[in-house]
């Protein structure tokens, strides 16, 4: 029996690696390409005995080719302001929906699901004249504005689902002790949905950090562009210098990857059942 168990575990391990390796290939190629010498063609390694010598020189070259630090700081600025605002708005909205009557709650959940089906093009066209009227074009406010609706209706629904599963008796006990609705949310409800809130924070971070379309549509000056657009500029300048493009892509991908690895347990704890 022990031999069979060992073979079973070995088979499971081999199967797991067969599944994981194709998923790891893009990440491995991104790292290798970012460390590849800029002027050395790929054929020099594939068709000859030239050894692969990784180099970090591509990263300073990227900074010399585009204003990398400016783009990076613009992305950080958007995330620093948009992330807490989107969490606050989404948490308030989710808690408010959960406290409504079943009829009103059903209507709002249905409207949120319908909003998820709206094509992004319709949102871009509707936001442009509004941002122009408010004077937000070519400012960070146009990139932070989605935080005013919680980032995405999907994030609001995740938080609503977490608040809906809280014990009604617990909230009623807090209200009987004299806690206002604000205190019920801050002292009772919010600590009990910390896992979902952390998961939504990671998703919001990914959303605002990787946002490419909004800066492209609403920003014109170089100083306001974010890192995703800056990496795209690398490809437009010289597509043959792919090590520089992959080095810029690695810089862009590193913060989301670290955020995901740090909070992947929170993402696994989120369960969604909408009623």
Once rounded to an integer, what is the mean pLDDT over residues 17-40? 80
- Angle of the 227-237 helix axis to the 58-65 helix axis, nearest 10: 90
Residues 20 and 95 in one domain: no
d(CA 190, CA 159): 10
Angle at 244 (CA atoms; ends 238, 245), nearest 5 degrees: 75
Residues 6+ apart with CB under 8 A from 59: 34, 247, 251
Is residue 3 over pLDDT 60?
Answer: no
d(CA 149, CA 204): 12
Residues 167 and 233 in one domain: yes
Q: Is there a domain that residue 141 lies in?
A: yes
Is residue 87 over pLDDT 50?
Answer: yes
Q: Which domain holds residue 95?
A: 58-268
Q: What predicted TM-score, i.e. pTM, was given to this entire model? A: 0.84
Q: Is there a domain that residue 30 lies in?
A: yes
Task: Note whether 202 and 267 are within 8 A (CB).
Answer: yes
pLDDT per position as a tens digit, 119-171: 888 888 888 899 999 999 999 999 999 999 998 899 999 999 999 988 888 88
Task: Note whether 217 and 124 are within 8 A (CB).
Answer: yes
Residues 106 and 178 in one domain: yes
Structurally, the chain folds into a number of domains equal to 2
Beta strands of the chain (E only): which ranges?
Answer: none
Residues 108 and 175 in one domain: yes
Residues 28 and 65 in one domain: no
Q: Is there a domain that residue 45 lies in?
A: no
Classified as helix, coil or strand, 40 is coil
Residues 9 and 105 in one domain: no
Once rounded to an integer, what is the mean pLDDT over residues 66-87? 94
d(CA 9, CA 5): 6
Residues 136 and 235 in one domain: yes
Residues 254 and 118 in one domain: yes
pLDDT per position as a tens digit, 30-63: 888 888 887 776 666 666 666 677 888 889 989 8
Residues 62 and 170 in one domain: yes
């Amino acid at each position: 029996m022990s031999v069979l168990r060992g073979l079973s575990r070995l088979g499971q391990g081999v199967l797991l690696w067969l599944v994981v390796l194709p998923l790891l290939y893009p990440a491995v190629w991104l790292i290798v390409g970012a460390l590849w010498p800029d002027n050395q063609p790929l054929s020099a390694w594939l068709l000859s005995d030239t050894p692969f010598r990784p180099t970090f020189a591509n990263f300073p070259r990227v900074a010399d080719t585009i204003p990398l630090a400016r783009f990076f700081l613009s992305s950080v600025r958007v995330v620093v302001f948009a992330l807490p605002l989107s969490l606050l708005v989404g948490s308030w909205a989710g808690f408010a929906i959960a406290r409504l009557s079943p009829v009103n709650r059903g209507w709002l959940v249905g409207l949120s699901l319908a909003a998820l089906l709206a094509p992004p093009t319709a949102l871009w066209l509707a936001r442009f004249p509004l941002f122009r009227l408010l004077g937000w074009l070519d400012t960070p406010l146009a990139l932070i504005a989605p935080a005013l609706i919680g980032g995405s209706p999907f994030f609001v629904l995740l938080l609503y689902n977490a608040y809906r599963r809280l014990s009604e008796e617990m909230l009623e006990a807090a209200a009987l002790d004299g806690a206002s609705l604000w205190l019920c949310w801050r002292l009772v409800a919010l600590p009990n949905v910390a896992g979902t809130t952390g998961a939504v924070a990671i998703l919001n971070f990914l959303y605002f950090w990787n946002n490419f379309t909004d800066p492209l549509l609403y920003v014109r000056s170089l100083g306001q562009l974010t890192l995703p657009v800056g990496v795209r500029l690398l490809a437009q300048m010289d597509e043959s210098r792919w090590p520089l493009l992959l080095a810029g892509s690695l810089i862009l991908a590193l913060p989301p990857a670290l955020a995901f690895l740090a909070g992947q347990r929170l993402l696994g704890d989120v369960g969604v059942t909408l009623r």
